[in-house]
Amino acid sequence: MTPVNTFESELAIIGTGLAGMAAAYFSQSLGIRTAQIGVSSSAIYASGYLDLLGVHPVERRQQWTDPFSGIEALVRDAPFHPYARLTRAEIQQALDGFLGFLSGMGLPYERREGVNSFVITPVGTLKPTYAVPESMWAGAVACEKKHPCLIVDFWGLKGFSAIQITQMLSPWPGLRPARIPFPAVGPSVDLYPEQMARSLEIEKNRVRLAEDIRPHLMDAQAVGLPAVLGIYKSAAVRAHLEGLLGVPVFEIPTIPPSLPGFRLKERFETEIARKGVRLFAQKRVLKVETENRKGFVLSVGDQATGEIQDMVRARGVILAGGRFLGMGLRAGRKAIIEPLFGLPVFQPGKRAEWHENDFFNPAGHQINQSGIETDEHFRPLDRSGHPAFENLYAAGSILAHQDWMRQKCGAGLAVATAYAAVRAFMGIKRL
Ligand X SMILES: Cc1cc2nc3c(=O)[nH]c(=O)nc-3n(C[C@H](O)[C@H](O)[C@H](O)COP(=O)(O)OP(=O)(O)OC[C@H]3O[C@@H](n4cnc5c(N)ncnc54)[C@H](O)[C@@H]3O)c2cc1C
**Minimum distance from residue 58 beta carbon to ligand X (Å):** 15
**Minimum distance from residue 206 beta carbon to ligand X (Å):** 27
Nearer to ligand X, 237 or 318 (CB): 318
Nearer to ligand X, 51 or 153 (CB): 51
Binding site for ligand X (CB under 6 A): 14-20, 37-39, 41-43, 45-47, 49-51, 256, 284-285, 320-322, 325-328, 340, 396-397, 410-411, 414
Nearer to ligand X, 247 or 340 (CB): 340
**Minimum distance from residue 151 beta carbon to ligand X (Å):** 19
**Minimum distance from residue 406 beta carbon to ligand X (Å):** 12
Nearer to ligand X, 404 or 425 (CB): 404
Nearer to ligand X, 241 or 279 (CB): 279
**Minimum distance from residue 171 beta carbon to ligand X (Å):** 25
Nearer to ligand X, 42 or 199 (CB): 42
**Minimum distance from residue 164 beta carbon to ligand X (Å):** 18
Nearer to ligand X, 12 or 175 (CB): 12
Nearer to ligand X, 244 or 331 (CB): 331
**Minimum distance from residue 22 beta carbon to ligand X (Å):** 8
**Minimum distance from residue 342 beta carbon to ligand X (Å):** 13
H, E, C per residue of the chain: CCCCEEEEEEEEEECCCHHHHHHHHHHHHCCCCEEEEECCCHHHHCCCCECCCCECCCCCCCECCCHHHHHHHHHHHCCCCHHHHCCHHHHHHHHHHHHHHHHHCCCCEECECCECEEEECCCCCEEEECEEEHHHHHHHHHHHHCCCEEEEEECCECCCCHHHHHHHCCCCCCEEEEEECCCCCCCCCCECHHHHHHHCCCHHHHHHHHHHHHHHHCCCCEEEEECCCCCCCHHHHHHHHHHHHCCCEEEECCCCCCHHHHHHHHHHHHHHHHCCCEEEECCEEEEEEEECCCEEEEEEECCCCCCEEEEEEEEEEEECCCCCCCCCCEECCCCEECCCCCCCCECCCCHHHCCCCCCCCCCCCHHHHCEECECCCCCEECCCCCECCCCEEECHHHECCCCHHHHCCHHHHHHHHHHHHHHHHCCCCCC
